Homo-oligomer: A and B are copies of this chain.
């Protein structure tokens, strides 16, 4: 039974015939809409086939697959096209961003199998952990030869490191420097030594100490559940002989990642804020909701999209591995000091709260607003987009 029928509150007998008629006409209109949708889906499939042909062609001629300028031109053209036929250009742009992302994901999926140095030998140190296994899969798919050096395998270290082109260390943060020191003597001089630890200072120093060949520190800003590396960030902190390490960075770029260069000190300072402080703030907010035993599901009934967005980020954190967050937050004395400063800064607001001092709040607010001013346009644009997406979907 159509739910429409409940809504027409007229005398049943007299209206039956007319109602059937209305239903029939509405059905006809909807069938026309369905016909259009079928054509759109068919065209999307045709489009996908064309994109596959272009990829094959580019591959055959060693042309780069991703072409940002072409994407922007395409969007501009279709916005105009849309406006001409009475569509909201923002609507057309959003749809096509999604379409283009889909083809990019497909393209990089193809590219995953393209090794920048296919055939080279990668020793995955800690290759049985989640992150180690993850990278083994990517390198293996790209045609590299993989050897795993796990915790139990040190008696075989000599054989496993022989003629290695890359030793990639992905072990827990607290044993990283120790593992690197132990690994060093087994590596051929021309082998690239790299790690994927979330802090970069101490591991990089340890690598430079342990190995005289090329060294680069990496911090991939994603976890082992990320299905595509499209636009995922990898921070690279140069150690020694950057040109010999370049192929490794090119490999990440070929997988779709964005490689950002920084020195280890800058990386660690910024990550204190981006990861440690941010995660701690989220942890503390969730901890408080639990201690107060707030009715989460009822808060969601009432929630503005902003609260909902924040709450799903809190829920996301607590759905993950505690030790991962403990490692990030407690990684260094500097980080712990930063977080303590943050708590103290919150404390400084207690007097204002106690006195109900709105004027002081507004004054502090305005200072921060001024400080954030250069970011505010971007913040509004991106957050409005996210809020729209949240409203659209859930």
A375 touches B102 (CB 8 A): no
- Which chain A residues in 67-100 approach chain B with CB under 8 Å? 67, 69-70, 74, 77-78, 81-82, 85-88, 91-92, 94-99
B45 touches A221 (CB 8 A): no
A67 CA to B6 CA, complexed, in Å: 12
Instruction: Decide yes or no whether A341 CB sits under 8 A from chain B.
Output: yes
Known contacts A26-B57, A383-B312, A386-B390; decide if A290 and B367 are in contact (CB<8 Å): yes
A30 CA to B47 CA, complexed, in Å: 11
Task: Indicate with 1 or 0, residue by residue over A309-334, a CB within 8 angstroms of chain B CB atoms.
Answer: 11111111011001101110110010
A125 CA to B284 CA, complexed, in Å: 41
B291 touches A275 (CB 8 A): no
Show 12 A/B contacts (Cβ-Cβ < 8 Å), sorted by A.
A48-B86, A94-B98, A222-B304, A233-B304, A267-B302, A271-B302, A278-B306, A284-B349, A290-B372, A322-B362, A326-B361, A330-B361
- Which chain A residues in 315-374 approach chain B with CB under 8 Å? 315-316, 318-319, 322-323, 325-327, 329-330, 333, 336, 338-343, 345-347, 349-350, 353-354, 356, 358, 361-362, 364-369, 371-372, 374
Report the minimum CB–CB distance from A290 to chain B (whole Å).
Answer: 4
Out of B41, B50, B96, B282, name the residue touching A78 (CB < 8 Å). Answer: B41
B62 touches A50 (CB 8 A): no
Instruction: Decide yes or no whether A7 CB sits under 8 A from chain B.
Output: yes
Which residues of B lie under 8 Å from residue A94 when comparing CB positions?
98
Which residues of B lie under 8 Å from residue A385 when comparing CB positions?
389, 393
A343 touches B347 (CB 8 A): yes
Number of copies: 2
A322 touches B361 (CB 8 A): yes
A309 touches B307 (CB 8 A): no
* Given A98-B392, A329-B361, 18 new contacts (CB under 8 A): A22-B61, A30-B54, A32-B50, A37-B78, A38-B81, A39-B43, A233-B304, A270-B295, A270-B298, A273-B294, A277-B288, A286-B372, A287-B345, A292-B338, A296-B375, A319-B376, A322-B365, A343-B347
A297 CA to B373 CA, complexed, in Å: 12
Residue of B with least CB distance to A327: B358
Chain A interface size, under 10 / 10 to 19 / 20 to 34 / 35 or more:
35 or more
Residue of B with least CB distance to A42: B85
Known contacts A88-B102, A312-B382, A390-B382; decide if A54 and B26 are in contact (CB<8 Å): yes
Provide the main secondary structure of the chain A interface.
Answer: helix
B380 touches A64 (CB 8 A): no
Out of B29, B51, B232, name the residue touching A54 (CB < 8 Å). Answer: B29
Out of B64, B91, B290, name the residue touching A98 (CB < 8 Å). Answer: B91
Instruction: Decide yes or no whether A156 CB sits under 8 A from chain B.
Output: no
Which residues of B lie under 8 Å from residue A77 when comparing CB positions?
34
A313 touches B319 (CB 8 A): no
Instruction: Decide yes or no whether A8 CB sits under 8 A from chain B.
Output: yes
Which residues of B lie under 8 Å from residue A277 when comparing CB positions?
288
Residue of B with least CB distance to A286: B368
- Which chain A residues in 12-44 approach chain B with CB under 8 Å? 22, 25-26, 29-30, 32-34, 36-44
A379 touches B3 (CB 8 A): no
